[in-house]
Amino acid sequence: MASDPSLGFLTRKDTEVKLPKPTRVKNKTPAPIQITAEQILREARERQEAEIRPPKQKITDPTELADYRLRKRKEFEDLIRRVRWNISVWIKYAQWEEQQKDFQRARSVWERALEVDYRNHTLWLKYAEVEMRNKFIKHARNVWDRAVTLLPRVDQLWYKYIHMEEMLGNVAGARQVFERWMSWMPDQQGWFSFIKFELRYNEIERARGLFERFVLCHPKVSAWIRYAKFEMKNGEIERARNCYERAVDKLMEDEEAEQLFVAFAEFEERCKETERARCLYKFALDRIPKGRAEDLYKKFVAFEKQYGDKDGIEDAIVGKRRFQYEDDVRKNPLNYDTWFDYIRLEESVGNKDRIREVYERAIANVPPAEEKRFWQRYIYLWINYALYEELDAGDMERTRDVYRECLKLIPHEKFSFAKIWLMAAQFEIRQLNLKGARLLLGNAIGKAPKDKIFKKYIEIELQLGNIDRCRKLYEKYLEWSPENCYAWSKYAELERSLDETERARAIFELAIAQPALDMPELLWKAYIDFEISQREFDRTRELYERLLDRTKHLKVWISYAKFEESIVEELAKDLDLPEDDTNLIELKKQSIQNARRVFEKAINYYRTSAPELKEERAMLMEEWKRIESKFSDLGDVSLVQSKMPKKLKKRRQIENEDGSSGLEEYIDYLFPEETQTTNLKILEAAYKWKKQKVAGEED
């Protein structure tokens, strides 16, 4: 268009095609008269004009009929040659021949179609229906016979064949067809059809025989229940019970055994045999896996609520809880808390065999990893098992076996449990087997030594009065753990209780000479208390001096001063001196002098070597002031008062966790000598400033 010069005057706007806008439906309410698509098509066909309607042919002459048939057959034959595999064409051809009443040709077409696809059961059905519709019974029977022979697994062919024979009144023939079908072992519905057929003609014995063959062919729970219900319907109670009993014998391990037991128990319930039903429920609950017995538990609880007494109802409820626990431990066998709850439930019932079974199942779930945190809960299963056997069951040999197996199971090279060793030893002591208890505790010390085992073993031997054994155990204890101050203190305490003062002192000396100690302050305190109790004040004073060589802690200074203060009281008690005795006054003077010496030494240390420890120094001054006031006339509070610091509230910059900064109030102490130093510094700074000012003016 653009190349034609005559059209050059057309603009782009003029060449655009304007499409009509789509109309909008303004009224969307349904029409009062609804018209369907089927109605529209039907009316369109009825209103066709005569010239376009297909012509209707009227045949009035035999010759014309022959021509029509010849033409129609030629059309069908041509169509068959083109689409031989299309079964619908064959069916239309055969049905057209049937309409022409030419049954020989129709049969020929059906037979030719069967040669193409004899496995198509629809062909057989329509072929047989044509023969039956036209009352060719023998031909129909022949077709059915061939069909079921070639396609024995198509149930519809058998049903149609049997239905024809039954409609003809040929009961024997129908039974014969059923027998032929049953030889192929069809599904349950086929057997039920045969049984219903026999029942329609009141052949009870034949039906019973069929049920016997049926349960052999299909040994399922539903088949046996159907058989038992048949006997029950005919009033044969014993036969029905026999069916259930045989089914239980054969299908005890079947997955649908729960359904069988429920049906059996309901049958006994209908027969008013409540005890039989109860026994069945209990028998089933003991043998069916708990994961498949949910419905059974519900039925049992409902049964007990209806027929049982209080004990029966409780038993049913316990069974329901037992089912829940079984389900929980099946999902997570390593959840030991669930096992504890399950065991408590069984112990409340009191069945020993069941309790032991649950314990054995619980302890069989060994933790997968050899880490103590995984075993801490598991080991209590063994402890509870042993306590149950000893206290509740009263079986001492089984208790001993439980302890033995538990100790074998624990990997002592990686970790151990002192509680198990001690409980096993205490059990042997209760059984008056002291040798066995010592053997157990000795093995414990050899395989997995622990503080608890040493302490308990020593306590047992001490109660028995075996001092030499106690000493050997303490030596083993200290050989295993030389840094243990508790063991050193207890060993020395044992010797002290035996008046072995030198042995106790030697033990203390060995203890404080160790290069590493876990709680040295307790050991030194025990040693000092020991010397004080022996009234060895010079030795005590020497110990304090040795301790101060190692540590200058505030508590050591205060304890040392208090010791010097308390000597007077100890001597007054020992000598029984009155308050106004001159010797006692001299002792008090000496005591206050010694205490002052300690305080002065401590304050000198804090002033020169640790000036930053102001709070400790202030506390020391407070303690000194208390001691001076305690001695009243002999003490001199003013001596301390002049050295007391002043408390000052100050603020300092701190850094918060979120990164921000802030101010914090704290208490600071200002001692007298620090005040003098501060004043001197101020005077010096003022003098320097004055000197600089004068020099500036002269310039």
How many CB atoms neighbour CB 629 within 10 A?
12
Q: What is the pLDDT of residues 282-312, one digit of tens each?
A: 788 777 776 677 777 778 777 777 776 555 5
Q: Please report the pLDDT score of residue 273 as a whole number.
A: 87
Residue 656's pLDDT is 76
Q: 440 or 591: which carries more pLDDT confidence?
A: 440
Averaged confidence pLDDT in the chain: 83
Alpha-carbon span 88 to 76, nearest angstrom: 12
pLDDT of residue 311: 58
Give the type of residue at 341. D
Percent of the chain with pLDDT strictly greater than 70: 88
This prediction's pTM: 0.55
Q: Which amino acid is at 334?
A: L
Report the distance separating Cα 507 and Cα 527, nearest Å: 10
Q: What is the pLDDT of residue 635?
A: 66
Instruction: Name the least confident of 240-249, 466-475, 584-593.
Output: 584-593
What does the pLDDT read at residue 309?
Answer: 58
CATH code assigned to 366-481: 1.25.40.10
**Residue 89 banded pLDDT, cuts 50, 70, 90:** confident
Determine the pLDDT at residue 10: 37
Would you place residue 644 in the very low, low, confident or very high pLDDT band (cuts 50, 70, 90)?
A: confident
117, 119, 178, 110: which is closest to 140 by C-alpha?
110
HSE (side-chain half, CA atoms, 13 Å) at 555: 4
Mean pLDDT, to the nearest integer, of 542-551?
A: 87
Q: How confident is the model at residue 430 (pLDDT cuts 50, 70, 90)?
A: very high
Q: What 3 state SS string does 384-411 have? A: HHHHHHHHHHCCHHHHHHHHHHHHHHCC
Chain centroid to CA 261: how far?
A: 31
Which class for 408: exposed (0-12), middle (13-18), buried (19 or more C-beta within 10 A)? exposed
Which amino acid is it at 628? E
Give the tens place of pLDDT for each residue, 593-633.
Answer: 888 888 888 888 888 887 778 788 888 888 888 877 777 66
Q: In this predicted model, what pLDDT tens digit does every residue of 127-186 receive, in sequence order? A: 998 899 988 899 999 999 999 999 999 999 999 999 999 999 999 999 999 999 999 999
Q: Are strands 646-655 and 661-670 parallel, antiparallel or unpaired?
A: antiparallel
Domain with CATH 1.25.40.10 in the chain: 366-481
Q: Structure tokens of 423?
A: 């409980």
Nearest 5°: CA angle at 9, between 8 and 15? 90
Task: Please count the residues of the chain.
Answer: 699
Q: Which of 50-54, 414-418, 685-689 has the lowest mean pLDDT?
A: 50-54
Q: What are phi and psi of 636, to 5 degrees?
A: -135, 95
- Cα dist from 95 to 103, 107, 133, 167, whole Å: 10, 10, 12, 24
